[in-house]
A and B are shown apart, each in its own frame.
Chain A
Amino acid sequence: MREITAVVLENKRIAEETYCLTFACGEEIPVRAGQFCMVGVKGFPLRRPIAVCKAEGERITVCYRLKGAGTHVLSETYKMGDALSVLLPLGNGFALSEQEKRVAVVGGGAGVFPLIAAIRQYAPEKELFAYMGFRNRAAVCMEYEMRRGEKLVLCTDDGSAGYRGTAVQALMEDWEAVKPSAVIACGPTPMLRALKSATGGKNVPVYVSLEERMGCGMGACLVCVCKKSDGQHARVCKDGPVFEIGEVEL
């Protein structure tokens, strides 16, 4: 975990309400797929937790959707050469075992971005089947990154690109053909709930990356908790953001 002042290399719109921000760390910082960083935005006391999408040497790329005032300011004011306050790498990330060879990758909305990191990391050693959901064609981005695996099914709510329906529906239609040995997923809570109920009887591990409003990002302030099945609280930033789906209440 490092506190750095990075330099913005690029901050560009890549799809509807979606931006891609690349910064230079000054040195190589190892990042696992599913880990995230806290990005400072001038004038805002809280940094924004954003999943790492690509880590290439000292260059880190994160993608974010415009959500509130902070992400708007981030998209409008940060240009090449600007200093950027970043805390990284944070969280546990995905940790697939050697036995988990055929992996279904299920993403929705901004949840596709940490999964792109997972596809980049695991494509050389595993068979990956990606089901990526977007609102519509205008929101689709980074398709080439998602094609590194065995298969990509793009899904849109309105059918304007690819499969008409949700990523979870597309995965379940494919389930018997693919027979995954593990599932990794990230997306809005309703998507994760649907995934939990759809995969409930399958006896396959499902690893989900959660999102929550955060304070420190490193496990100290106890702001971003989720409820575990045993009634205890886990810190999304430090104990997660990746949990086995049975471990947590969604």
Chain B
Amino acid sequence: MADLRVTLCGVELKNPVIPASGTFGFGREYNEIYDISALGAVATKGLTLAPRLGNPVPRIAESRGVILNAVGLQNPGVERFIEDDLDWLRAKTKVIANVAGSTLGDYAAICKRLNGLVDFLELNISCPNVKCGGMAFGVRPESIEEVTRISKENCPDTPLIVKLSPNVESIAENARAAERGGADCVSLVNTFTGMAVDIERRRPVLANNTGGVSGAGIKPIAVRMVYEAARAVKIPVIGMGGIECAEDAVEFLMAGATAVQVGTRNFTDSLACPKIVAGLDAWCDAHGVKEVSSLTGTLKMN
């Protein structure tokens, strides 16, 4: 039995495996399959101040080794989350509230509302599927720094994770911008903007035309970006992008991540997260690793 605990911004997680925002709701559905207190934390569905209906359907498409989604931040709004789900979820495991906005004021307000109520805030400045806001803040280093600073000013008591978009010029530059703005941690990668075409109809499959690409096919790009970001900053990094098994998670940890998020794989196997937790334990045992946290950033470059 390896020690799977990791410490992220001073908060101890029982293991480094976290279901990624948008694939896991607020955890209630998956909890019907297994007790989600087995997870290190849960990243919630992206929350906004007011409820959002999201995009028209189809919202999902598939390509080889990847999926595309364009849900468009449908969510019941932060107040409903606080009222209906927060206490239940906090009793299960650590809560990462993923938050999004259309304006700087939105980000400030939602961070203020959740300050002290959740274990972490994860700033979604990288959603490719909404017209205003979302990724608009997540592309240029200057705007990343600004939205991070305003958000952090409003959540002094809660560690702030900034979720970075991969659709950018320099991931290292953007990670540094988040750190300068006061981020306590960065998570990456969000989805890559892509398109799938229905050639019979000569139309994109997604009603939104474009969507976020995720799944096993993006993993090598994600690992490279996590490596570059982790090298560029002193704050911890949460790695994600195509993780399907414990060995995939180990790649991200070695590349510099302290914890990992698992998204698309939950759709292929609803038990993916607890299997990865068990698999990490087995991998560590088989390799004489006593503490999973000792793997972080141990990659030796050729």
Interface flag for A9 (CB, 8 Å): no
Min distance, Cβ A218 to any Cβ of chain B, angstroms: 4
Question: Which residues of B138-171 have CB atoms within 8 Å of chain A's CB atoms?
Answer: none
Chain B residues whose CB sits within 8 angstroms of the CB of A87 once the complex forms: 270
A121 to B60, CA, bound (A): 33
- 1/0 contact string of B39-67 vs chain A (CB within 8 Å): 00000010000000110011111100111
Is B54 a contact partner of A216 (Cβ separation < 8 A)?
A: no
Q: Does A223 have its Cβ within 8 Å of any Cβ on chain B?
A: yes
Tell whether B192 is near chain A: CB-to-CB under 8 Å.
no
User: Which of B29, B59, B216, B268 meets A223, CB within 8 Å?
Assistant: B59
CA separation between A219 and B24, bound complex, in Å? 9
Chain A residues in 8 Å Cβ range of B22: 221-222
Flag if B59 contacts A213 (CB, 8 Å). yes
Chain A-chain B contacts (Cβ-Cβ < 8 Å), number: 99
> Are A225 and B59 neighbours in the complex by a CB distance under 8 Å?
yes
| Contact A224 B57, beta carbon cutoff 8 Å | yes
User: Is A238's CB under 8 angstroms from B267's CB?
Assistant: no
Which chain A residues lie closer than 8 Å to B268 at the CB level? 40, 45-47, 85
Expressed in whole angstroms, the minimum distance between the Cβ of A137 and any Cβ of chain B is 25
Contacts of A222 in B (CB 8 A): 22, 25, 45, 54, 59, 71, 74-75
Which B residues are CB-close (under 8 A) to A3? 33, 269-271
Is B69 interfacial (CB-CB < 8 Å)? yes
CB contact under 8 A between A223 and B60, given known A45-B267, A218-B32:
yes
Q: With contacts A220-B24, A226-B57 known, is A45 near B74, CB below 8 A? A: no
A184-215 near B? 1/0 per residue, CB < 8 Å: 00000000000000000000000000001111
User: A99 — which chain B residues lie within 8 A by C-beta?
Assistant: none
Cα of A46 to Cα of B269 in the assembled complex, Å: 9
Q: Hey, which chain A residues are within 8 Å of B128, CB to CB?
A: none
Q: Are B65 and A219 in contact (CB under 8 A)?
A: no
Docked Cα-Cα span, A84 to B24, in Å, equals: 23
B67 near A212: Cβ-Cβ < 8 Å: no
On whether A221 and B270 interact (CB within 8 A), knowing A1-B33, A2-B33, A232-B53, the answer reads no
- B255 → chain A closest CB, angstroms: 22
Q: Are A220 and B74 in contact (CB under 8 A)?
A: no
- Sorting the interface of chain A by its residue count into under 10, 10 to 19, 20 to 34 or 35 or more gives 20 to 34
B37 in the interface, Cβ–Cβ < 8 Å? no
User: Are B45 and A216 interface neighbours, CB within 8 A?
Assistant: no
A233 interface residue (CB < 8 Å to B): yes
Once A215-B69, A220-B30 are accepted as A-B contacts, the answer to whether A225 and B23 lie under 8 Å apart by CB is: no
Interface residues of B in 250-280 (CB under 8 A from A): 264-271
A44: CB under 8 A from chain B?
yes
Q: Is B181 an interface residue (CB 8 A)?
A: no
Judge whether B53 and A218 touch: CB under 8 Å: no
- Please encode chain B, from 199 to 234, with 1 for each CB lying within 8 Å of some chain A CB and 0 for all others: 000000000000000011000000000000000000
Q: Which residue of B lies closest to A216 (CB)?
A: B267
A215→B60 contact, CB < 8 A: yes
A residues 55-108 near B (Cβ < 8 Å) are: 70, 85, 87
A218 touches B57 (CB 8 A): no
New A-B contacts (14) at CB < 8 Å, excluding given A215-B69, A218-B30: A1-B32, A3-B33, A3-B271, A45-B66, A45-B67, A47-B267, A70-B62, A216-B29, A216-B266, A216-B267, A216-B270, A220-B45, A222-B74, A231-B53
Can you report 20 residue pairs joining A to B where beta carbons are below 8 Å apart?
A: A1-B33, A40-B268, A40-B269, A46-B67, A213-B61, A215-B23, A215-B267, A216-B266, A216-B270, A218-B29, A220-B266, A221-B24, A221-B69, A221-B71, A222-B71, A224-B59, A224-B60, A225-B74, A233-B74, A238-B29
Q: Chain B residues in contact with chain A, CB under 8 A? A: 22-25, 29-30, 32-33, 45, 53-54, 57-62, 65-67, 69, 71, 74-75, 215-216, 264-271
Q: What 3 A-B pairs are tightest by C-beta distance, nearest first?
A: A220-B25, A220-B29, A218-B29
